[in-house]
Structure 1
Amino acid sequence: MKTWLITGCSTGLGRQLAQAVAGRGDRLVATARNAETLRELCESYPDTVRAVSLDVTRPGDAAAAVALAESAFGGLDVLVNNAGFGFIGAIEETEPSEYRPVFEANVFGLIETTRAALPALRRRRGACVVNLSSGAGIAGAAGSGFYNATKFAVEGLSEALAQELRPLGLNVIIVEPGPFRTEFLGRSLAVAAREIPAYEETSGRRRQYRQTNDGRQAGDPAKAVAVMLQAIDAERPPLHFPIGPVAHRIAETKLEAFRADIDAWRALSIATDFDAPSRRAAS
């Protein structure tokens, strides 16, 4: 039986994961900015689920949630950093007041929640940090640059964290979902207020995608959660874990393009070291 702390449990994959974790009998500290949204979950599992308000951008909230896990259940085995939101807008279209909050939630909130949980996690060998990235954390796309940037940050941070925690017997998993039928394209997605006509064929298409695909995504959230649980429970969990055919296609396309650039420019781009001293100069 594991003890979990999951952020962003009010909707989407966070909600699905919280229900699955509770349903299989694990202990759970479920969090949301408004803990009242988790009342039904707590009432269904009064012995094993606790709910607490956690805004990842508010100092002290994460530490209080970790303290609850330790006081109520004696420790912490799995942290899932799920809270965050998406954003659409071309780089030029977007104001700092629009894009900075995305970084505060998706990057700095994740960092502070992780830092608060690590002392408790280090006391449980085999504990795990699960960071929700996205297919957007694998490859950039027009109209999603700021969201891409936050998820790229999550990827780099997680890779470094994995190297720091592996010798301590802890695991890190970067979950990289494609499109799933959650509220992500609805209430969990912000859009730049300004539209510049020059970007109609790039970021404009991303705006249109949001309007035409909300609630029609092919991915089943319940199936996503099921495979996440298998990865988290695995003896040797993956570091990178793309979920769904779209995420796999993004990853494969990125790898192919990256390899093509490396191969095409290898001879020129590696010839950058100082010239080796000649034998005559050495003698």
Structure 2
Amino acid sequence: MVKTWLITGCSSGLGRELAEAVAARGDRLVATARSTDSLQSLCERYPETVRSVALDVTRAGDAAKAVALAEGAFGGLDVLVNNAGFGFIGAIEEGQPDEYRPMFEVNVFGLIETTRAALPALRKRAGARIVNLSSGAGIAGSAGFGFYNASKFAVEGLSEALAEELRPLGVSVIIVEPGPFRTAFLGRSMIAAGREIAAYAETVPARRHYRETNNGRQAGDPAKAVAVMLQAVDAEHPPLHLPIGPRAHAIAEQKLDCFRADIAAWRDISIATDFDTHN
């Protein structure tokens, strides 16, 4: 069945790769970015099935215009992909509000408002999907990524609650949790704290070094990641959590092992907290 998609952040990275794949397979697409200049070639190659519109997820009203375009041009909306976002490197003490707050505006609040704008249209379509781009960083926290971890943990919690709300309505939520893929994420989509504090020399600089030495060298093939995403969207029973790539799976497995170990070690003490008598 031909689907109508709305994807945020289509100028580059996984968003662009997904937009190309969606258009190539014959689905209808509203491709968005803060500037539509980068989307012109995509529209020219697929003039019947692709439309573009400027969408800054932090700007009030932009998401509603994109949804209206999907409904006006293609008669509805089947899949929303919240892909727009960026990362931040720095210790919690190093980060300044004017550095990390804009990331939350995009990664969390922008995703929320885009989703809210799209929900009335999605609820009209049986089998609709919402795909929220999280990260391996949304599964487990790590030194130097704390602010980015927090933004993606928020996406995870919001998505899990949204999935419960929408399940009776026939709309599914998929949380995509990619590991490192060869996109511009470590370049133009990653910023770093403007100051470095020597006390964190044993932990945080490793993140900065990783960025400097791995940008453009990541092992993950974006086309293969997108193929997994498409398969999940098309599945009759899509997964709620979808780690993609060996690194993401390793992070998830380690997190589960550590979580279970903590629970088991403290179980007898930590569950003995009810009143001794029940009224």
Give the structure-2-normalised TM-score: 0.99
How many angstroms apart in 2 are the aligned matches of 1:96 and 1:144?
Answer: 15
Deviation at 1:25, TM superposition (A): 0.2
Alignment partner, residue 206 of structure 1 = 207
The reply to whether residue 190 of structure 1 matches residue 202 of structure 2 is no
Aligned-residue sequence identity (percent) comes to 78
Deviation at 1:189, TM superposition (A): 0.3
In angstroms, what is the RMSD of aligned CA positions? 0.7
Report 1:142-157 matches (<5 A): 142-157=143-158
User: Which is higher, the Rg of structure 1 or of structure 2?
Assistant: 1
The amino acid of 2:68's aligned partner reads A
Deviation at 1:197, TM superposition (A): 1.1
Alignment partner, residue 217 of structure 1 = 218
1:143-180 C-alpha deviation (Å, 9 max, x unpaired): 00000000000000000000000000110000000000
The reply to whether residue 6 of structure 1 matches residue 14 of structure 2 is no
The reply to whether residue 97 of structure 1 matches residue 83 of structure 2 is no
Report 1:17-36 matches (<5 A): 17-36=18-37
Deviation at 1:13, TM superposition (A): 0.1
1:113-151 C-alpha deviation (Å, 9 max, x unpaired): 000000000000100000000000000000000000000
How many angstroms apart in 2 are the aligned matches of 1:14 and 1:126?
Answer: 22
Alignment partner, residue 266 of structure 1 = 267
Structure 2, unaligned runs of 5 or more: none
Deviation at 1:226, TM superposition (A): 0.4
Report 1:1-283 matches (<5 A): 1-276=2-277
How many angstroms apart in 1 are the aligned matches of 2:100 and 2:186?
Answer: 17
Deviation at 1:24, TM superposition (A): 0.2
How many angstroms apart in 2 are the aligned matches of 1:223 and 1:129?
Answer: 20
How many angstroms apart in 2 are the aligned matches of 1:15 and 1:262?
Answer: 41
The amino acid of 2:9's aligned partner reads G
What SS does the corresponding residue of 2:53 show, helix, strand or coil? strand
Deviation at 1:276, TM superposition (A): 1.4
Structure 1, unaligned runs of 5 or more: none
Deviation at 1:200, TM superposition (A): 1.6
Give the structure-1-normalised TM-score: 0.98
Deviation at 1:275, TM superposition (A): 0.7
1:23-73 C-alpha deviation (Å, 9 max, x unpaired): 000000000000111000000000000000000000000000000000000
